[in-house]
Structure 1
Amino acid sequence: MENSAKDTWVLVTGGTGFVGVHVILQLMQKGYKVKTTLRSLKRKEEVLDMLRHGGIADFKNLRFIEADLMKDDNWKEAVRNCTYVLHIASPIFLALPKDENEMIRPAVEGTLRVLKAARDAGVKRVVMTSNFGAVGYSHKDPYTAITEKEWTDPNEKGLSSYNKSKVMAERAAWDFIQREGGSLELSAINPVGIFGPSLGPDISSGFELVKNLLDGTMMAIPNLTLNIIDVRDVADLHVRAMTSPAAKGERFLALAGGKISMPEIAGLLREKMPVISAKVSTKTLPDWVVRIAALFSPKAKAIASMLKASRNVSNGKARNVLGWEPIATNEEAILLSVESMLKFGNIK
């Protein structure tokens, strides 16, 4: 157990989420006392089941608070006595709204609501989950590596409303700290595509991508290149950024290293999991077809916007500053995602 962890309260926002529950798991394994916010306490048992699946049996140091990013209710209680806040929750949309501000405003306002509550409660540091979309989508030179010094232009042509909401929320967070944060410290984690083992049946958007490959929904595969990170490595990076003095005022890209394309993922599935990969397409979709489809389909538009993104991304800062070493390769994280979907019945 880490020094003084047993006396330290940490708030994790969004405890039902793929990343959030893994962060809670690692904090409890290290002996921290944890509070987590849920939009509805009706989902408390889901979180407990996921943590049991991760090996936790004693929940005396875990507290649940019902709190919504768009409401002031209960945030004062949530941050009370907490030394750290890991702000992982994001506003939830079942479908992309027609008006991008419907996604941007909740992301920005929710982040500011958490930061203000943390500041007023005397919290030492907030670690917020941003994403790669806030860093690298305006990078044009494929021969130079993308680092944390860069920012995506929120007016970048073709940028999805989700990525725009992330860059606007992170910008708002840093502006808040500079203008009125007082003694509150801030760090940001910027993950790429998150895969790896799930602790429950709810699947992330990345899992959905692989599921569409396996069930044949994706009848032809876009030549899309991805960077990938295992969810356990994302959680580890949050915990390291929480306590490291060197993480104050810094952002950290989270990726395993290297890149992998959708056709390569399809080949990996056919090679390593042939029994369930019979429906995985062998056809590659030309980029021009994706761009034409983007004129009519929101999903195709999101893919088209990613085709031009550079995937020459560095994880050197997280390694060098925080001593972080990812435990899973791109391929391992993908295969662990599939194993989780098999285990929880998401795929047959």
Structure 2
Amino acid sequence: MGKELVLVTGGSGFIAVHIILKLLSQGYRVRATLRTLSRQEEVKSMLAQGGVTDFENLEFIHTDLTSDNNWMEAATGATYVIHVASPTPATRPDDGDEMVKMAVDGTLRVMKAAKAAGVKRVVLTSASGAVLAGHKSHPEIFTEEDWTNLSADIDAYQRSKTMAELAAWEFAKKENMELSAINPTAVMGPILGQDFSHSNQIIRAMLNGKMPFLLKAGFDCVDARDVADLHLLAMTRSEAVGERFLATTGENLTYKEEAKILKRCLGSTAKKVSTKEMPNFVVKFLANFNKDLRMPATFLGKNTACSNAKAKEMLGWEPRSAEEAIIATAKSMVELGLIDK
């Protein structure tokens, strides 16, 4: 039992599964938390889709961000904790304050358990939403020095990620713990099962012809495999302690540019993809009635470009291109039958 044990929270999530894949391939033992233990086989099938055949070094434990139960047991014996679990846009409670409370309380539960169990380092999966939201005008490219403006009218998801990350840093400072944070932009990359990121839903909607008009908004993206790599670098490299790292390809693409990539690279598979854009005033009006549009509508006309210089220079991280990440998303969706014929 000489292999180091890593606790990964939210083990069924899209990013978490890619992290578990990377950890198992590098010889770590993994303990993954699940809110519903009946999802163990689903997680194993996603890992198998990603190339893992031996589950000897993988175990599961039941925990919930809203309860103290089992967190101490989960952290006991772990050298590292990677805290990925968080309420996401797909699972969000209707009450925004509830979402924030769940994210903050859940993060503090994990931090307290890690401290009590003598864990060496915690790596927190935060988000670019904790960096770039709520800024009226920000002409410069966003870096890790930037924080979301909590006094602005921002979406509950961004508020939850920002406040959870701030709570983690405050706890780590007070308790003298090693902490690193990873702040991914829109996460693309190979889908391994039915559980995938909110950002990937956009690619699916485009391919299925469910986005006849596109928002005039641009976002950075990143491949889930590279997000997993960055978590492992942050977990093992001494330079990463006390630092946050934006995970982005460093390219800021509009929905129209993403649509053009799909059309260029996928041929007839992308026949339903539209490149027509909707005027901003129409989007803002529709956002009053369609809650799916509310968060993206807040970014219309705003700069969202992020820098990856810190992760590259400090940790030697080398992400794939945005095109490669987007095409990997699309191709895996076609393979898994998630795209209508």
> Fold-level match, TM-score > 0.5?
yes
Within a 5 Å distance, the mapping from 1:25-40 to structure 2 comes to: 25-40=21-36
CA distance in 2, matches of 1:96, 1:15: 18
For 2:172, the equivalent position in structure 1 comes to: 177
AA aligned to 2:337 is: G
1:136–1:309 contact (8 Å) kept in structure 2? no
After superposition, the C-alpha distances for 1:84-114 in whole angstroms (9 at most, x for unaligned) are 0000011356565443111100000000000
Selected match of 1:164 from 159, 162, 172: 159
Counterpart amino acid of residue 246 in structure 2: L
Q: CA deviation at 1:301?
A: 1.6
Q: Is residue 195 of structure 2 the alignment partner of residue 202 of structure 1?
A: yes
Task: State the distance in 2 between where 1:43 and 1:275 align.
Answer: 35
Cα root mean square deviation, aligned:
1.6
Q: 1:322 aligns with which of 303, 315, 321?
A: 315
Deviations 1:51-103 (A, max 9, x none): 22222222221111111111111111111111100000113565654431111
| Alignment pair present for 1:347 and 2:328 | no
Counterpart position of 2:233: 240
CA shift at 1:188, angstroms? Answer: 0.3
Between stretches 303-312 and 248-257, larger displacement belongs to: 303-312
Partner Cα distance (2:55, 2:93) in 1: 38
Match of 1:270 in 2: 263
**Offset of residue 121 of structure 1:** 0.5
CA contact (8 A) 2:82 2:124 kept: yes
Q: 1:333 aligns with which of 306, 320, 325?
A: 325
- Paired residue type of 2:162: V
Q: Deviations over 1:188-233 (max 9, x none)?
A: 0000000011222323211211111122211211111010100000
Q: In the TM superposition, what is the alpha-carbon distance from 1:151 to its structure 2 partner?
A: 0.6
CA distances 1:240-285 after superposition (whole Å, capped 9, x unpaired) = 0001111111100000112111011111222221212222223211
- With normalisation by structure 2, the TM-score equals 0.95
TM-score, structure 1 normalization: 0.93
Q: How does 1:15-94 map to 2 (within 5 A)?
A: 15-91=11-87, 94=90
Q: How far is 1:140 from its partner?
A: 4.9
Deviates more, 1:109-118 or 1:5-14: 5-14
Deviates more, 1:103-112 or 1:310-319: 310-319
Given that 1:201 and 1:345 are in contact with CA atoms closer than 8 Å, whether structure 2 keeps it comes out as no
Matches within 5 A, 1:185-334: 185-326=178-319, 328-334=320-326
1:140–1:310 contact (8 Å) kept in structure 2: no
**Partner AA of 1:38 in structure 2:** L
- Aligned mates of 2:185, 2:203 — CA distance in 1: 16
Aligned residues: 340
Counterpart contact for 1:139–1:146, Cα < 8 Å: no
Instruction: Check whether the contact 1:160–1:302 (CA below 8 A) recurs between aligned residues.
Output: yes
Q: Aligned residue for 1:147?
A: 143
Aligned to 1:118: 114
Secondary structure in 2 matching 1:223: coil
Task: Report the Cα distance in structure 1 between the residues aligned to 2:10 and 2:257, rounded to whole angstroms.
Answer: 33
Q: Is residue 194–residue 231 contact of structure 1 (8 Å, CA) maintained in 2?
A: yes
TM superposition shift of 1:311: 2.5
Q: Measure, in 1, the Cα distance between the counterparts of 2:195 and 2:336.
A: 9
Alpha-carbon distance change, 282 to 94 in structure 1, aligned in 2, over 3 angstroms: closer
CA drift of 1:146 comes to 1.1
Task: Note the C-alpha offset of 1:40.
Answer: 1.5
Distance 1:190 1:92, change over 3 A: closer
Contiguous gaps of at least 5 residues in structure 1: none
Note if contact 2:187-2:223 (Cα within 8 Å) is conserved in structure 1. yes
